[in-house]
Amino acid sequence: MSTNDYKGSFVSFLLSSGALTFGDFTLKSGRQSPYMVNTGKFNTGLLISELGSYYAAAIVDAKESGLITSLPDVIFGSAYKGIPLAVTTSIALAKDFGIDVGYCFNRKEAKDHGEGGNLVGLVPTAGSNVLIVDDVMTAGTALREVVPLIASIEGANIIGSLIAVDRKERGQGELSAVVEASREMNFPVFSIVDAEEIADKLSKTAPDKAEAIRAYLKKYKPAK
């Protein structure tokens, strides 16, 4: 997949796969949302493969735009949802762009036999550039759990974190969850698409759904 209009194509993919649905949903924050993104819907080989291509395109686009300073050496996914994301993204980078990188993920509990430890895959070392992948950020809890694991490896460098969708709403304070996490972690947290881009894509084909998203965004608009 090229980086040309991958964002608009990704919104169509979210819809056709059923990962983006509309209704009345209660979020972890307690807010009532008119839409929900469930990446658990990418549950076949074809769907998860295509999802990886969008993550890969977003990574290459981020490097070309200067959002991240270098391409990753390792794609890191947190247990459990981040594991297939790390694998499929590394495959897509190799297949679509000829960029061969490692993937790594954590165990929920450290293994005390065999190879031991709580990291599996190509474990980052000094000098490794690491990009963390996840699905949708609500409060940044998963990110805050895995960053210390990577930061404990002397010389490893976290260059950013990529999620599928940025809901662009207030997080724990007045800023958006993504901006809060970016500032706290001191690296960019970015997305394949955000809620505003989804609304823009839907404005012609499903204006009622686009308006519902915009009304929700207006209600929970962050300072940044």
Q: Enumerate the active-site residues.
A: 111, 113
E strand map for 5-85: 20-26, 32-37, 74-77
What token pair was written down for 58? 């977003």
Given the structure tokens 């409060």, which residue do they identify? 139
Q: Distance between CA 77 and CA 84 in Å, rounded?
A: 8
Q: Distance between CA 42 and CA 56 in Å, rounded?
A: 16
E strand map for the chain: 20-26, 32-37, 74-77, 102-111, 117-121, 129-133, 157-166, 189-194
